Structures are given as C-alpha cells and as structure tokens.
Chain A
Amino acid sequence: MIIIPLILIPIISFLLGILFSYEIRKIFARAQFRLGPLTSMYSELKPLLGTSRLIQPLYDILKLLYKESIIPKSANKTLFKISPWISFLLIFIASYFISYGGFTLLGNFELNIIFLIYLIVGVTLFWLIGAVASGSPWSEVGVRREAELMFTVEVTLVSSIFSIAILSNSLSIQKIVNHQLNSIPYIILNPIAAIAFIIGLLGKLHLKPFDIPDAEVEIVAGPFTEYSGKYLALLYTSKYFLTSILIGLFVDLFLAGGQILPPINPVNKIINFITFIILCLIMTFIISIINALAPRFRIDQAFKWMITRVWPISVLSIILSLIFVYIGVI
C-alpha cells in the first residue's frame, strides 16, 4: 500500500505548486489591470494538456524542455549540472513530509520537522552552489544576496516552526495537526508565529518585497542567470514544489491542516483534502496581495529590517508559546 502515496504525493505536490504559482501570477496581474496568464498551447500537446490557462506555469516548464541547455565555458561543469538535480531531489523528498489534509507518507514519524527544515535549506543551498559554479558575475552578486537573505529568512522560518512545536510538544507534522484537532488551530493561539512564517515564506519564495536575489533590472536573473533549457526547467520545478510545500506547511502548522472532519471514512478524507486546498488558496491569496502591492527592498534594507523588526517578532512568538505551555493552556 505504500506505493500509492509514494507515487501520488509528489504529483499532488507539483500540481498544487502549479496551481499556487498560477494564482500568484493571476492576482499579480489583476492588481495591475492586466489579464494574467493567457496562452495557446503547442498544437501537438493540446490533446494531452487541454487549453486551460490554469496550468500556464506547467507550459513554461514544458517550453523549456524543448530548448537547448547551454553550459557556459567558464562554468565548473560537474557542479553546474548536478546541483539542479540535487536541489530537485531534496525538494522531491520534502514533499512526502507534508500532510495534505491527512494524506501523508512521512508525516507521522517523530522529528520529521527537523528533516524537513534541512531539506528546505538544502534546496536553496544547491541553487547557490550551481550559481557559483556558473561563473557569471551576475550569478555571483545574486548568490551574495541570496545568502544574506537566506541567513535572515531561515532564522525567522525555523523559529516560527519551533514555537509551534513547543505549543504542541511534538516534532512531527501529523501530530501537530492532530493536536490542533483536539484543541484549536494554532493561528488563534500564536498569530505572531504565523506572521513570522508568512514573512519567512515571502523571502523563501522570492516574492516581493524579498525578490532581491532575482531582481531582473539589477542582476538579470540572479542565481539562475546562466541556466537555460532543461536545467532551468528543473530549477523551476523545484521552485513550484517549494511553493506548495511551504504553503502546505503553513496550513498544517497553523490551520490544523484543513482537517475539519475526523478522518474515519473516505468521504471525510476527501472533504479534508479539499478544505486543505481551499485554505492553501486563501493563504496564497494573502501572499499574492503582498507581492502585488510592494516594491523590492534593497538587500541591506531587507537585512536590517529582518534583524530589527522580524527577529524580535520571532523571539516573541517563541516566548508566547512558552508562556502558553507554562500556564498550561494546551
């Protein structure tokens, strides 16, 4: 029976990533009085994929697969080729850890949240390694920015995750979800941690105001500048995975994973899964609005802002959790 979630979960995760990326793009466009993704598909792929605009992000990847992968002369070829694959592999594994409305493979065992954090950090790290190996000055500046941003963002993200772990007294994602079913969603108990998580999520997904590493008017495409063709497709795929995993993680940690009914029969399970997706879409809507209405920070401003404003919030969220545990609300 393990084979079904083993195959199904990455597919679900990827499709959700495409859905959320579409929503981010669409709302970004609607906020600007544009129409957003509108496309016509390659005629030979039409019967396979249909003409829906929903999967525009998928078309983007498919288009890249048609293209030639150029490897710059100055690059360290082994690292340049292998690091997109490793980052893809890491995020692929990470997708098994999330609880999709109760449907999960590795969500149950203890300490899995620690694994997940390492995997998520690893993805960004291998993007950076590939970019450094490309030898382009644009990538170099992009990597410097990405590393600085990563330093501040990971702290926020991890401290927010840990404040939830403290509340539930558990390091397992499914157990955290189950805890919330017994008491109340943690977004009500610890909204500060939720805010810190959203800020971390914006930084992690390179949404405005934290799209500093791939600011196209300054440094072309930042770390991805020299990537093209299949390798770029791979990087985009891992980015879509990352989108769905982080948003799913938010719903799991703060909104009880969308489980409104006890998962005793298949109907309830399906309702839970749909609730999970709806909650994810609402969450995506919020970050899309922020993305549409903010300009980009400069890297030093972002760094300063994160340390002076957001880190205190992160610390506060942990303190809040500790107080709740101490007085025994949970």
Chain B
Amino acid sequence: MIKLNEVLSELEKILSPNFKIVKLDMNGRHVYIETSVDKLIDAAKYLLSIDGRLIHITASDEGYKGLKLIHVYGLDHLCINSHIILQTYLSREHAVAPSISKITYQVLWAERETMELLGIKFDGHPDPRHIFLPHEWPDPVESKAEEWKPVKVGKKCVLPIGPYHPAMIEGGYFKVKVDGEEVIDVDIKVGFNHRGIMKLAERRSFWKDIFLVSRVCGICNTPHALTFTMAVEAIANITPSDRAQYIRTLLAELNRIHSHLLWLGVAGELIGFKTLLMWAWKIRENVQDCTELLTGNRVHMDAITISGVRRDINDQQIRKAREKLKDVKKEVEKLAEIVVSHGIVRARTEDIGILSLHDAKDGGAVGPTARASGWKMDVRKDNPYAAYSEEYTTWDIIVDEGKDVFARTIVRVKEILVSIDICLQCLDALKRISGPIKVEVKGFPEGEAIRKTEAPRGELLYYVASNGSNIPKTVRIRTPSYRNISALIFMLKGYSLADAPIIIGSVDPCFSCTDRVIIVDDKRGKKAILSYNEFMKGLALKKLEV
C-alpha cells in the first residue's frame, strides 16, 4: 500500500519547479497537476515504477491557451480512489510532446488517437500510423497516396480475419500471418466503424449527451451513460439520493449479467459449441425481460439521467424481478457446471492465449481480462461509485490465477453470479429505502472531472470539461475494449490458428466501442500495409508473400 501524500511529495521533487496543483476532486483523491512538457517522461517513469497505471492520454483544445495534453494516471488499485492527472499546455503552432509508449506499451493507441484527432506529434513514437483513417491515407491529405507493395519475408501465408468474417459480428481486421497452423504474427486494424461520438458530444447539451454516449456501445450502454452522468455531476456538484444510487447499481449489474451471458454464448460458438450459444442466450432472454420490466426497454435502458434516474421502481416490479433473477441464477449455475466439467471445452480453452501478469500490466489489460491474469483490480471496489461501496452492498472481486482463456471464462461466469447477488441486494434495499429519484440541477459551472466505472468489459473512463454553458467543452472516452484489444498481441502469438477466434473472443472485444484502433507488432521491423483494394484482392490471392 502506498500513500497519496508520499507520491505527491516525490512527484513534486521530480517535477519542480513546474509543479502546481490546480484542482482537487473526490475528497482530494483526484489531483490535477499542471506541469511542463519536458518533465512528462520523468513523471511517467516514476509513476509506473510504483506500479501505477497510465490510464489514458488525451488532449483538449483550449482556444488561445493552446492544446491541453492530459495524462491520467491511476493509483486506485493501490490506494483507494487515487488518480493523478498531469496537464500540460502545448502551443498550437508547435504541438510536440514526448512519447510515453517507449516506456510502456499501454498508451500506444492513446497517443496515436491524439495524433490523429488533435495533431499533436509524439516524439519517438514507435508506430505513428493512422488510427481512425485507413493506413494508406495520405498525410498531409493533399499529397498522393503511396501504392502498397508487398514486402517479401520468406514464404508465409497471410489470412485476413475480418473486417467481414463469420467469427466477428463487428468490423475488426486481424491480419494473421500463419506458418502452417501456427500464428506467428498479428496486425490489428480497427476503425471501420468510427462515428465521431466524442465530437458529436461537444455539440449537444449535457442532457442530450446522456443518450448519445449510451449509444457508444449497445451492450454496455448503462455504464457509458452512468460514467458520463457521474462526471457531469462532479462538475455540477450534485449528489444523487440513495434510492437513485441503488437503482443505478441494479441497472448497471443487469447490464453486466446480460453482457457476460452474451459473451459466454459467443465464446461457445467460437469453439464450435453452438448449443452453448443457444442455451446462454436463452437465459439472457430472461435478463432482457427483467430489464424491460424495470426500464421499459430491452437493451438500451436509457434510465439514467443527471442527478438520478428517470424512472422509479415499485414493489410489484421488485417482486417480479426477484423471481426472474432467481431463475436466472439457477440456470446459470447449471450452465456453469456444464462449461467447467465438459472435457472438450476444457481442452479447447485451457493453456491457450496466456496473458502473464507482467504483460497484462504492460499491455494495460482491464476488467475480466486483467482479473483472469491474477490482477486484483475492479473499479467497483477501488473506486466505489453508485451503491458498490461497503456500506451499501457486500460482494467480492473475482480473481483467477489461470491466465488463459478458461480462466477468463471462469471469471466471467462467476461474475454473473456475483452480479445477480448484487442485484438481489439492491432489490432488497429498494424495498427498504424511499426517497426522491432526482434532485434539482442548478446549472453547470465551469470545471472538469474524470470519472470511471466498471463496464462489463472493464474500466471505462470519461473526461468531461465544461465552460459554464449547457454544452460540454470536451468529452473524452476511454473504453475498456480499447485496452484489451491492444493487449491481444501478447495472447495470440505462438498459438494455433484454430485458437485465434477464441483468443480474440476471450477479451470480449467490442469494436463499436473501440472503434478506432490499429496495432502492429513494433518488435518486427518489416510490415506491409494492405490497402482496401489490396485486401479485397487478398482473399482471392493464393499466397500473399509478405
């Protein structure tokens, strides 16, 4: 355990004389520090050496002040609620910052995103390719695109998994290089579904944004709405009532149950167990019914709003929901028994796609993926929000030391049971507690805030800044799949092609929330980029000699 004060005093020594605490939030646990560009690498080295996490790098346009580069460090898995937010102002004409991705892998994509969106250049970035745009997009736009030519490195077969592939419903493109059946290299291109939600959110009012951000991902819509709302509430200094907190927790957990059941089904299909898919989705129907009962909608709940929730839950609904959830619990237990004891399921998932704890930390895995690698990390405990803290509900973090696909399955299956438990506790509490579901909102003052929640796929981060109007100045989203997909590169190499779909599936990739990603193995020097046309041809080409 470390103390935030010690970290801050050490950081002051490193950053001095450019060390200025500009804001404290969350009872002094979120520390916003303004510093200069040249000290960023030293700060990163120190904060990562004490086992901190670099959650996200982003930037915001501050008008005449220049571009504000924001590094969000999380220490919450070491010391409750602690976050350090380093801010630096860069001039618009010469926006150059040192790249942190040399020190740690996890920010590779975040820096590329910032490069793409705000034009900040990162010195020494190992892979400064486009992240949203196609690889071959000319830079600057006026110049002519270079034609793609294959680079010959021996005789290896290249298989395109995606963007349109039966294993993936959404558009992600995994260029898998195989030698026989063995995967020897992977190149990931995501970003076939970029919708520019962060920009759209800066054009709408706070109230409309809730519905916009819950459309980032259909499956984990409530955590998105909840996180955005929490950030806005932090700016406006609003505390929702206990009853609203319980309802929020209930809805977020229902979301997690249905997301995990959906994942279990998809995982079953990826190992060729179609029956498991149908069984899991049959159980999921009950959860959907429960959601419909409580909020009126089956998937997009849209029940959360600033200062509370939009709908109350009455006693009759509580009773019906309890019955449904108890049925679900029984069936999930049965299903878990089948999954755990089935010989072929174990054979297909054990010792596959191993992600060691070191790689998980360096690659920045979050959520069930990290917990299955033995990393005890859960935003609900580290950073309690809604009704997750000790005084509201009692539950434990599920951790597994298996590190493989089977461990990730077990973690998710157990989490379903834990979630059902939390839901039942919330329903009990809702019977007891009465009170308003909304409180009054008196405008949105100038300010900024970061908030995190545990979405079904892992840690979800929102950075929201307001300039005093009813439209947010900046909205930045860091989705969990963003990290988990980038960590896939550690899991895929060395395993069989037949394992590739289940390994990709095991992190529960959500391309609609990731939406904008590319990774390339930077350890290998030579790489070839397929243009869209080349890719379309690639399917018919006998062997791409890459």
Contact = CB atoms under 8 A, between A and B. Distances in A.
Interface stretch (A16-24, A138-146, A176-184, A256-264): A138-146
B498 A212 contact: yes
Contacts of B158: 137
B278 interface: yes
Given A138-B159, A217-B167, A295 B271 contact: yes
A28 B278 CA distance: 11
Interface stretch (A30-38, A39-47, A164-172, A189-197): A30-38
B414 interface: no
Interface in B376-400: none
A264 B499 CA distance: 57
B268 interface: yes
A104 interface: no
Count chain B CB atoms within 10 A of each CB in A135, A295, A296 and give the residue with the most: A295
Interface stretch (B236-244, B294-302, B339-347): B339-347
Interface in A58-105: 72-74
A122 to B, nearest CB: 25
Contacts of B180: 144
A278 interface: no
B542 A74 contact: yes
A209 interface: yes
B524 to A, nearest CB: 20
Given A137-B159, A217-B167, A301 B542 contact: no
A218 B500 CA distance: 8
Nearest to A33: B282
B540 A295 contact: no
B335 to A, nearest CB: 13
Contact of B344 (A136, A138, A209): A209
A285 interface: no
A33 B279 contact: yes
Given A73-B540, A141-B159, A215 B275 contact: no
B275 A32 contact: yes
B165 interface: yes
Interface string A293-316: 111111111000000000000000
Nearest to A34: B278
Contacts of A34: 278
B282 A218 contact: no
Nearest to B279: A32
Contact of A296 (B157, B273, B279): B273
Nearest to B541: A74
Contacts of B154: none
Contacts of A72: 540
A137 B543 contact: yes
A230 interface: no
Given A218-B167, A298-B498, 13 more contacts: A28-B275, A32-B279, A136-B540, A136-B542, A144-B181, A208-B272, A216-B166, A220-B165, A294-B344, A296-B271, A297-B344, A298-B347, A298-B496
Interface of B: 157-159, 165-167, 178, 180-181, 268-279, 282, 342, 344-345, 347-348, 496-501, 539-543
7 contacts: A34-B278, A74-B540, A138-B159, A217-B269, A217-B272, A298-B348, A298-B496
**5 closest pairs, A vs B, by CB?**
A296-B272, A32-B278, A295-B273, A217-B167, A135-B542
